[in-house]
Amino acid sequence: MKSEVSEIEGGGRGGPSLPSPLLDLNALPQDCIAAILSFTTPRDACRLSAVSTVFKSAAESDAVWESFLPSDYRAIIPSSLASKKALYLSLCDNPVLIDGGRKSFSLERGSDKKCYMLSARDLFIVWGDTPTYWRWISIPESRFEEVAELISVCWLEIRGRISISMLSPMTHYKAYLVFKATTSGAYGFDLQSVEASVGLVGTEGQKRTVYLDTERRRRGRFPIAPRGIGLFNRSRFFGLQASVPTTASDDQYPKVRVDGWLEIELGEFFNEGCTDEELEMSVLEIKGGHWKGGLVIQGIEIRPNLCGGSENNAPVPSDLCLNTGILSGQDSKNQDFSASLP
């Protein structure tokens, strides 16, 4: 690859122009190219690997990929893989369990920003330890050992906290409740809005109205849904139905993730890099007074929102060397490396 820098001397129109010198970037030492690439992003490094064989060799080096790993990666996951690139891709594709299995950690593939999910056990759930209202179960599709199944409550309150120092600085984050309906189906959420909030502990936080209606997509854009009353669904007995309000936008309803779960955005937060505060996320429905149930809560996920974000937990399109099958043989179940944490 050669770069031409034009320089015209003589000043006036038609003045003499001298040929510019040509700089052969391939003549740079590989270590120098690797040092330059380490100041870019994983996506940029992969794109630049297509420039030449010299750039490709530098882009594959451990020096480049170690710069994309978090500084404390050795405490998060044992470095038993063949290369730092393989380790990076492993942290992108296979979230690892930390904090005794109460959280999961991963990296956003294109930017190396940190992502976390707080398990249901790491959340504060009102009446969560009362078997009449909630129960704790294990299901194979969850990354955590236990999930919380909502049996029936009239007061729904779920809160989660994470230290801001754990997040990537100068990064725009969004938080999502990750859940699904039970096999018998959810009830009480079809017409009832829920208040979601994200903000620093001790502040009011950013609030938004969302709906945990898990059947809306199946019913269609303008669905007809049964009204719920008490512990029962009135339409099961009387066949009464009511139209769902059409004033809500699509982003106020759950979306399907690539892992099969549903998620609803709770709010967003820009991490300016402060280290002595906590971020709190909440889901509240305490005003309606009616009973609701039939949900399974896996946790709350906090992930970067980059250029509009990767909606529905869809993987960012892979570029060149990011799109590899290097980890395709690995088990998709998460490994718990919490024992290796300090």
Q: Hey, what are 121's tokens? A: 């056990």
Say if CB 104 and CB 313 are below 8 A apart: no
pLDDT, position 251 = 87
157, 284 Cβ separation under 8 angstroms: yes
CB atoms under 10 Å from CB of 224, counted, come to: 12
Single pTM value for the model: 0.77
Q: CA nearest 37: which of 327, 336, 321, 239?
A: 321
Residues in the chain with pLDDT values less than 70: 1-23, 78-80, 217-246, 307-342
Q: Tell me the C-alpha distance between 276 and 165, whole Å.
A: 7
Dist. CA 268–CA 172, nearest whole Å: 7
**What CA–CA distance (Å, rounded) separates 85 from 91?**
10
What amino acid is encoded at 124 in this protein? F
Classify residue 142 by its DSSP letter: S
The pLDDT assigned to 78 comes to 66
Instruction: Calculate the average pLDDT of the chain.
Output: 79
Beta pairing partners, 241: 226
For the chain, the first-to-last Cα distance in angstroms comes to 46
Rounded CA gap, 189 and 228, in Å?
Answer: 8
The confidence score (pLDDT) of residue 245 equals 52
Q: How far is CA 280 from the centre of its chain?
A: 16
Show the CA angle centred on residue 116, arms to residues 110 and 119, nearest 5°: 145
Residues 222-268 have pLDDT tens digits of 444 444 444 444 333 333 333 445 577 888 999 999 999 999 999 99
- Kindly tell me the burial class for residue 3, based on how many C-beta atoms sit within 10 Å of its own C-beta (0-12, 13-18, 19 or more): exposed
Please state, in angstroms and rounded to a whole number, the distance separating the CA atoms of residues 319 and 204: 40
Report DSSP state, residue 282: E
User: Residue 26's pLDDT is what?
Assistant: 74
Check residue 70 and give its pLDDT. Answer: 87
Spatial separation of the C-alpha atoms in residues 181 and 185, rounded to whole Å: 5
Q: Where are the alpha helices (DSSP H) in 140-258?
A: 216-219, 234-238
Dist CA 311 CA 198 (whole Å): 18
The conformational region for residue 201 under phi > 0 = left, psi -120 to 50 = alpha, else beta, is: beta
Per the CB < 8 A criterion, the answer to whether 321 and 64 are in contact is no
